Amino acid sequence: MRNYILILLQALLVISCNQKTKEELTVQDIEIFEKTIAWDLIQSVDENDVSKIQNILNGNPKLVNFQDPIFGTTPLMWAIGAEKYQSAEALLDNGADPNIVSKIGTTALFEAISFSWNDTQANEDPKFVKLLLNYKADPNINYCSSKIYGQTDPIECGTSPLMYSVSRGFEKVKLLVNAGSTINYKTKSGNTAAYEALLMKDVNTAHFLVVEKKANITEPVYSYSLNDADTIDISKPHYPVDLLLDWTFEINSSDYQKKKEIIAAFKKQGIDYESRKANISNLIVRRIKKMYPTDWEKYISEY
């Protein structure tokens, strides 16, 4: 009997240790829906059980847009983050609103653009973005989050889905643009999707936006404080063209050719890349010297 009690106490201790407090829960934890009227629904979503989802929503259709009490996450947002495609489709078929904004500033589309909770590479697949756009998701609802438990948000308030899609899958970028994303939208700091693409060296996206879609790349971007996003440092403008100085691709490579076409697009907008080479940092020069120790000066004249 004594051994049984000890085992029971140990089991209870393990359970209690595994239980997270409200402050420890994240949007990825299914427990954010626990003890809510949507608990059975979210479990069915997690299991990709379309039949159960349908039965539950037949009994209570309003559950489809239920929001958890902590983060304001909907079953649709959670299904997308957890990569439950069949569940997401079933929820949309039953009237899930893809344009609800959570307490932390996200939409279902923003979740679809982001990397998967399960695999940071898997969500480069555009299937969730395509699904949501087919169900009238708005590509111009921008992200803005309040602080959760005092955490600083590294994503600038006002970041658009298109801006966030840079380096998260080129097909997503094209889908968003074709769905009506505002290409030249900019945040308070002046950031744009084209600037993000140039900054991240996302060659395909930069070429698509700047060369094919003729995005505006003449205006500067300014730094801001993570702790106070309203504090914009206008004394230090960052010009999009200067980002190309960091693009040290091999001469005549496909990326180099696309860079040359981007440079030509800058020229059409009155921005001369060649004149900016005087601003090449010592760090970039050292990198070029390492790449081309005998003819680095020739490379700089051509790159």
Contacts of 200 (CB under 8 A, 6+ apart): 166, 167
The pLDDT tens digits of the residues spanning 157-166 come to: 999 999 999 9
Let me know if the fold of 27-138 is the same as that of 162-303.
yes
Domain 27-138, second-level architecture: Alpha Horseshoe (1.25)
Q: Which of 131, 119, 121 is nearest to 175 (CA)?
A: 131
Domain borders along the chain are 27-138, 162-303
Q: Which of 249, 256, 164, 240 is nearest to 198 (CA)?
A: 240
pTM across the whole model:
0.88
Reported confidence tier of residue 190, pLDDT bands at 50, 70, 90: very high
CA geometry: angle at 103 spanning 101 and 90, to 5°?
50
Place of tokens 């006002």: 158
State the Cα–Cα distance between residues 197 and 202, nearest whole angstrom: 5
Q: What percent of the chain has pLDDT over 70?
A: 88
pLDDT on residue 235: 83
The pLDDT tens digits of the residues spanning 226-277 come to: 666 567 778 889 999 999 999 999 999 999 999 999 999 999 999 999 999 9
* CATH number at 162-303: 1.25.40
* Enclosing H/E stretch for 238: strand 232-238
How many Cα atoms are found within 13 Å in the side-chain-facing hemisphere of 136? 6
Q: At how many degrees (to 10) do helices 85-93 and 50-59 cross?
A: 30
74 touches 96 (CB < 8 A): yes
pLDDT on residue 230: 63
